[in-house]
């Protein structure tokens, strides 16, 4: 180490200049030959590749490739499905399916001119109106309660609150695609409406399709979601013959799209491969437009309850619903 009073001798300006020139000239010459060699051997290599594009807003909440709408197969069971109640093979339970598992229409599909009725199951105010909601109404092949209170998680998160949140999220997605979205209730009614009024909402709105959103109250040991399809009912005031086939097609799209968006497995305590056909629901018996129900999960099951109380998962649920409705309206 050199001390403070012991400096190295200075070189003259001429010597310094000579040294610099001697060092620079060979380097420049070598660089020129290298560039010429590169330029003549591979012109493309001499041009720097542009940086990869970064898409603004490419990732939305609740997506896997993010939020790609799903267009499921037309068969009643998806490719690679497991026995009843299982998720499709290779898809981890409770995680979103990998991108491209099912063909998908564009998330930006134009739904201008289309009308969709969303039916948030139950009503937060039903608890305070037992007389009104217990009134019996005609559903064609029998009578049912006007409405019910719905279920809830062990922690008290109600089905009515869940359905309103998810349908509002789905409405935002569908409206952004140009659709007109009509609600049967938006937390703006003290109770109800009754199931027969909910069923009429599709015809009253001149809707193309309707969907009723629910959370199930099954046995605590059971988990998973399922879609309820209408059975053909021609009895009394009910005749849903015209909507059974398109409703079943909608149900397949919804089952596969919801699973792809959320990773939720098919219900292992009810239904078959995530599908259940029923003739006892006024909302399906009396509907004049294609309609299905979705039970998004079992709120009495601790794992399902954790998912359904997570806002991010609810956004995924809304995405699966919106994408399935979009696929239904743009592929037929």
209 within a domain of the structure (yes/no): yes
pLDDT band at 332 (very low <50, low <70, confident <90, very high): low
Number of domains in the chain: 1
By annotation, the residues acting in catalysis are: 295
What percentage of the chain exceeds 90 in pLDDT?
A: 67
pLDDT for the residue numbered 124: 97
CATH of residue 126's domain is 3.40.630.40
Q: Which helix (H) or strand (E) holds 305?
A: helix 302-308
Tell me whether strands 238-239 and 234-235 are parallel, antiparallel or unpaired: antiparallel
pLDDT for the residue numbered 108: 62
211 within a domain of the structure (yes/no): yes
pLDDT band at 109 (very low <50, low <70, confident <90, very high): confident
Task: Find all residues with CB under 8 Å of 85, minimum gap 6, and list them.
Answer: 224, 265, 266, 267, 268, 269, 271
Q: What CA–CA distance (Å, rounded) separates 290 from 211?
A: 8
27 within a domain of the structure (yes/no): no
DSSP letter for each residue of 188-222 = -SSS---HHHHHHHHHHTT-SEEEEEEEE---TT-
Identify the domain containing residue 147 by its residue range.
Answer: 115-330
pLDDT tens-digit readout, 41-52: 333 333 333 333
143 within a domain of the structure (yes/no): yes
Q: What average pLDDT is seen over the chain? A: 78
Of 34 and 223, more confident: 223
pLDDT for the residue numbered 96: 45
Q: What average pLDDT does this structure show over 238-258?
A: 98
Contact 104, 71 (CB under 8 A): yes
285 within a domain of the structure (yes/no): yes
Please determine, for residue 14, whether its predicted confidence score (pLDDT) is greater than 70: no
Nearest alpha-carbon partner for 212 in 268, 275, 254: 254
Please determine, for residue 76, whether its predicted confidence score (pLDDT) is greater than 50: no
Q: pTM here?
A: 0.70
41 within a domain of the structure (yes/no): no
78 within a domain of the structure (yes/no): no
pLDDT tens-digit readout, 192-203: 999 999 999 999
Tell me the two tokens of residue 240.
């849903």
pLDDT band at 89 (very low <50, low <70, confident <90, very high): very low
155 within a domain of the structure (yes/no): yes
What percentage of the chain exceeds 70 in pLDDT?
A: 67
pLDDT for the residue numbered 53: 31
């Amino acid at each position: 180490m050199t001390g403070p009073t012991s400096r190295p001798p200075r070189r003259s300006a001429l010597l310094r200049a000579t040294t610099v020139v001697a060092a620079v000239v060979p380097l420049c010459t070598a660089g020129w030959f290298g560039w010429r060699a590169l330029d003549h051997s591979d012109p493309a290599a001499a041009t720097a590749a542009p940086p990869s594009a970064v898409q603004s807003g490419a990732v939305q909440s609740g997506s896997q490739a993010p939020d790609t709408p799903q267009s499921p197969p037309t068969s009643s069971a998806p490719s690679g499905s497991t026995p009843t109640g299982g998720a499709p093979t290779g898809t981890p339970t409770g995680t979103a399916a990998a991108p491209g598992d099912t063909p998908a229409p564009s998330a930006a599909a134009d739904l201008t001119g289309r009308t969709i009725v969303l039916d948030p199951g139950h009503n937060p105010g039903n608890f305070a109106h037992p007389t009104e909601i217990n009134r019996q109404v005609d559903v064609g092949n029998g009578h049912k309660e006007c409405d019910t209170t719905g279920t809830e998680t062990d922690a008290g998160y109600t089905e009515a609150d869940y359905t309103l949140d998810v349908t509002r999220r789905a409405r935002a997605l569908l409206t952004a695609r140009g659709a007109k979205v009509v609600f049967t209730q938006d937390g703006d009614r003290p109770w109800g409406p009754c199931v027969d009024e909910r069923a009429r909402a599709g015809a009253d709105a001149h809707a193309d399709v309707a969907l009723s959103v629910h959370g199930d109250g099954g046995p605590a040991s059971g988990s998973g979601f399922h879609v309820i399809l209408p059975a053909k009912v021609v009895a009394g005031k009910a005749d849903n013959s015209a909507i059974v086939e398109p409703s079943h097609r909608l149900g397949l799209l919804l089952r596969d799209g919801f699973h792809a968006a959320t990773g939720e497995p098919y219900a292992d305590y009810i239904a078959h491969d995530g599908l259940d056909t029923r003739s006892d629901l006024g909302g399906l018996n009396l509907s004049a437009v294609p309609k299905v129900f979705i039970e998004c999960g079992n709120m009495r099951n601790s794992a399902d309850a954790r998912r359904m109380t997570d806002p991010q998962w609810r956004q995924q649920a809304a995405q699966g619903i919106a994408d399935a409705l979009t696929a239904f309206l743009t592929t037929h």
